[in-house]
Amino acid sequence: MSDMEARGRELFDSGMYCAEAVLKTIAERQGIESDLVPGIATGLCAGMARKGGPCGAMTGAILALGMIYGRNNPDQSVQETFDAVRVMMEKFEDRFGSTNCTELLNADLDTKEGRQAFNDQNLGEKCSEFTGVAAALVNEILEKPLPQT
């Protein structure tokens, strides 16, 4: 397990949610300190605030990639960011079979039954893995230049 994967899991296991933990892991790695991190990611956790959307670990990774590759003005290209996000999403889906929270957990966290299943089946362990892997994927992308498209 890489250091980034371990740190992502550690933050998740300490009580942060998936998107928050991934974003904070990468911000730390980059030496970025901001009052916005990790709070800017909170609404993305648990499949977009438990609505069954994209996995929070993956959306936290997208935020982290945007934090590094994102543009600062409309004259800049979006291509590098889009390329990085697409690579990360493809690798995440290849590893886990989906990028959707409800599908990954086989539980709808927007329902009482789904939250009960999350607790009863200890699905937090899966989320810890998703979080660690998402952080490691971002780190891998940051360490290897992307091919130019």
Cis? peptide before 147, omega within 30° of 0: no
Predicted confidence at residue 117, as pLDDT, reads: 97
- Which tokens is 143 given? 């360490």
What letter would DSSP give residue 86?
H
- Strand, coil or helix: what is 12? helix
Q: How many Å apart are CA 36 and CA 91, to the nearest integer?
A: 27
| Cα dihedral 42/44/148/25 (nearest 10) | 30
Structure-token match 């945007």, residue found: 66
E strand or H helix at 91: helix 79-96
Predicted confidence at residue 1, as pLDDT, reads: 86
Predicted confidence at residue 59, as pLDDT, reads: 98
| pLDDT tens sequence for the chain (149 residues) | 899 999 999 999 999 999 999 999 999 999 999 999 999 999 999 999 999 999 999 999 999 999 999 999 999 999 999 999 999 999 999 999 999 999 999 999 999 999 999 999 999 999 999 999 999 999 999 998 766 66
Q: How many Å apart are CA 9 and CA 5, to the nearest integer?
A: 6
